[in-house]
Amino acid sequence: MSIDIQKIRKDFPILDQMVHGKPLAYFDNAATAHKPQQVIDAIDEVYTTYNSNIHRGVHHLSNVCTQAFEDARVKVQNFINAPHSHEVIFTRGTTEAINLIATSFGESFLKAGDEVIVSQLEHHSNIVPWQLLEKRKGIVLKVIPINDAGELVLDDLDDFLTERTKLVAVAHISNALGTINPIKTIIDRAHAKSIPVMIDGAQAVQHLKVDVQALDCDFYVFSGHKIYGPTGIGALYGKEEWLNKMEPYQGGGEMIQTVSFDGTTFNELPFKFEAGTPDYSGAVGMGAAIDYVNAIGLENIAAYEQELLEYGMEQLSQIPGIQFYGTAKEKASVISFIVGNIHPFDMGTMLDKLGLAVRTGHHCAQPLMQRYNIPGTVRASFAVYNTKEEIDRLVAGVKRVSLLFA
Amino acid sequence: MGMTIKEIQEEIVEEFSVFDDWMDKYSYLIEIGNDLEGFEEEYRLDTNLIEGCQSRVWLHGELKDGKIHYVADSDAIIVKGIVGLLVRALDGRTPDEILENDLTFVEEIGLKEHLSPTRSNGLVAMIKQMRLYALAFKAKQSS
């Protein structure tokens, strides 16, 4: 089945606007994707028809709202093929999900000298929570290196995985380079030594089908806003055997069974990890976003985005002096580049004047930029609503700006 | 010399008023950035570095005969162009002059967006740092 991009574009009201007198071409999807009307409507419906605090309510609206929230959980469950809905924890996003794991898993299972393994291409969100654990508990953070193409070098992985290794935490897809990491290989090799694996799926779920049972990962985390859903909501999948053994992350309402000053017992999964009133409207919006993606079909989205990626790489590579960062064989629709010695900030500032929204800078992956010894890159990341005509405008824009700085 | 900070700002605004199109304006800014001189490598110290999220600015100030002399640099040319304008406005002035004058020209020539804190290009911190130099030298003079 092929998809009708013009029809899809009409679902996204934000795309139809002028920026600095030029039609907006939005290439910053790896930072956040826009929201289709279906998602906006779903959130609107929460507040206009059934808003009410969820769980433990005996009145009608509370029941409707609770049902919508729990339906959203099931949508997430089905979307990643999790065995049970109680293995899906709603969080504020990927960052909070990783912090939850670092804190709760760390509290329950990590001691001084224990190792956590990440990679060179991680987002700061999958580095800093572990560094906090280094400080707090004296764990050791080890880093899987990458090659020049931006691919993980796994030759020494078995040596990396020692008796002290308690967790491997890697990105499914690099936000700065687009590299699709061979996570199945990593999971299998870690499991061969009984080491659990957490996958940061923030850049993956919007581009390819994720099946946590097929992957057999122990944790998988992602955000709603990068998959056409609202901001402030994300999901953490964890195998129940781990989640049950982990300490709660935050204390408060909802996550308790009984509270007394002699001691408190915690609620069962998933509520144990959802302290306070959760973002139920966000969860409903995220559920609507998953419905939206499912209706188009992730395989259709993936095929179209690969087409855009190939076209973009082909066209951009004709620009004299362009250097690409991230040329992995397996790659999502992210193009990171620098032209000559033009600073990414300069390039981005000028492209903005042409109505072209790109991201510039270190993309919250400074260790990766240090690896390449660059201050940052210009990053164009494509979503299902981007077109080849927009890419033509980007290429023309980059050419024009390059001449200006020559 | 002989012009006040206010007059220099007016002069800059006048220069930019001939551009009716953003491309010309930025081309001029790039030119100023490329032509900015005076920053010797010896000043490229961490203590002079103003780290922005997007770009970096280096600023060094010295007091000579009661006047502050600034030299500055940036790794991004557009930022460097604005840096050049800021230095032009405040270089060779007394601490009091620097502290008494607001830099209004940036807004008047339509570059205010670059001074929004969210642009994280180091410029906001640079202006603050230029004033801190003035405050510090003033305190030193009177002590």
Question: Scanning every residue of chain A, which has its alpha carbon at the shortest distance from the alpha carbon of B113?
Answer: A349
Instruction: Name the catalytic one among B3, B45, B53, B139.
Output: B53
B77 and A344 within 8 Å at the Cβ level: the answer is no
Give the per-residue pLDDT at B118.
62
Per-residue pLDDT band for A2 (boundaries 50, 70, 90) equals: confident
A404 and B22 within 8 Å at the Cβ level: the answer is no
Chain centroid, CA A132 distance in Å: 21
pLDDT > 60? residue A1: no
H helix runs in B5-104, sequence order: 5-17, 22-35, 77-90, 95-100
> Identity (one letter) of the amino acid at A222?
F
CA distance A238 to A85: 10
Residues of B in contact with A362 (CB under 8 A): 53
Please count the other Cβ atoms lying within 10 Å of the Cβ belonging to residue B116: 11
Chain centroid, CA B123 distance in Å: 8
CA distance B92 to B38: 13
pTM summary value = 0.94
CA distance A166 to A109: 8
pLDDT > 80? residue B115: no
Per-residue pLDDT tens for A302-326? 999 999 999 999 999 999 999 999 9
Please count the other Cβ atoms lying within 10 Å of the Cβ belonging to residue A365: 26
From the list B27, B53, B76, which residue is nearest A343 (CB)? Answer: B76
Tell me which of A157-166, A248-257, A271-280 is least confident.
Answer: A248-257
Q: Which residues of A lie inside 8 Å of B (Cβ-Cβ)?
A: 20, 342-346, 348-350, 353, 360-362, 375-376, 404-405
Catalytic annotation on B53?
yes
Residues of B in contact with A359 (CB under 8 A): none
A345 and B78 within 8 Å at the Cβ level: the answer is yes
Mean pLDDT of A281-290: 98
Between B120 and A218, the higher pLDDT residue? A218
Mean pLDDT of the residues in chain B: 90
**Predicted complex ipTM:** 0.90
From the list B22, B53, B77, which residue is nearest A405 (CB)? Answer: B77
**CA distances from residue A149 to A178, A321, A324, A406, B53 in whole angstroms, order as listed:** 11, 18, 9, 27, 25
Size of interface A-B (CB pairs under 8 A): 40
